[in-house]
Amino acid sequence: MKATTKLYELGQSLWLDNITRGLLVSGTLRRYIQELSVTGLTSNPTIFDHAIKNSQDYDDAIRQKVKQGKSGEALFFELAIEDLKLAADLFRPIHDRTSGVDGWVSLEVSPVLAHDSPGTLAAAKSLHARAERPNLFIKIPGTKEGLPAIEESIFAGVPINVTLLFSSAQYVAAAEAYLRGVERRIAAGLNPDVASVASLFVSRWDVAVADSAPAELRNQLGIAVATQCYASYRTQLNSPRWQRVFNAGARAQRLLFASTGTKDAKASDTLYVEALAAPFTVNTMPEATLKALADHGAIGGTLPTHSENGLEKFATAGMDTDKLGSQLQDEGAASFVKSWKDLMECIASKSETLKAA
């Protein structure tokens, strides 16, 4: 049995952290669904930047949109929504079969809105309406300014993928924002069944401490943080407050493990996926990691539901994980903005080149 199949049978959803028009039109994504148990997909500006920059798959569409007077952000979102509609339709049978638990795709709001709560809310509503697909998440960062937009989006009935979470505390804050939105829907007599996932970034922890962690702790911090977060997740779902909204017809916000491609060339290329097997969670992984998992991955046990304080040994080694978690979120937000600017430059450059041709 392939490790991808075993992971799926253990109760964890495997999502692909990639999208290109080539993946869609070539039948590759369909094959991943059929053969590698892939049940969803995530995207981000960096992924689209690479897809547009490194292929000719989008040239005809860009050329046509330029003739229509489209440019910049407006042109990009048209391309992205076209791709995500196709992907959403491929996953729609899974979405229907699981009553909306699985089969999702994700589209990110502009990262330049990271500190603009009203702007983020407006963008989330607009993008979800334009896509016209029930299985499309809108990605909003779980930053201080993002939390109010998450709550308001859930209250408005927009499914949200909360991104850019790095710690258990950040996860809990995002979960509470989601829960407040659901509770407000219940109080207003609205259907509380609005889906969400909370995305915890894993490998960036180990990248951040690669030069300072003792050899015996190398490539262990991300897994320790994720294990602690999973324990918090299970505690949240078992709490009276969550049980009350479940009783009113709400669904759980699932925990998603993101950034699970191994960055250290000396470590196993399936390190994080194998370590973070856990039921009723999602692991979104790069294409190379998915292929490696199918080829030679080995899935053992699942994460414990109650974690001992696995971070103590890092504190003893002089690492302030609370401070680092905040730093990683700030750096992640800045990195997203840079990726967005790179994407806009790519769109502008391609548009000019194709227009001149």
Question: What CA–CA distance (Å, rounded) separates 242 from 251?
Answer: 9
Closest by CA position to 262, among listed 205, 338, 335, 308: 205
Whole-number CA gyration radius for the chain: 20
Say which residue the tokens 């201080």 belong to.
144
- Ranges of beta strands (E only) in the chain are 12-17, 38-42, 105-108, 136-141, 160-165, 196-201, 254-258, 281-285
Structure letter (DSSP) for residue 140: E
Say which residue the tokens 């039948």 belong to.
27
Q: How long is the chain?
A: 357
Distances, alpha carbon 181 to alpha carbons 34, 74, 174, 263, in Å: 35, 29, 11, 36
Active site residues: 139
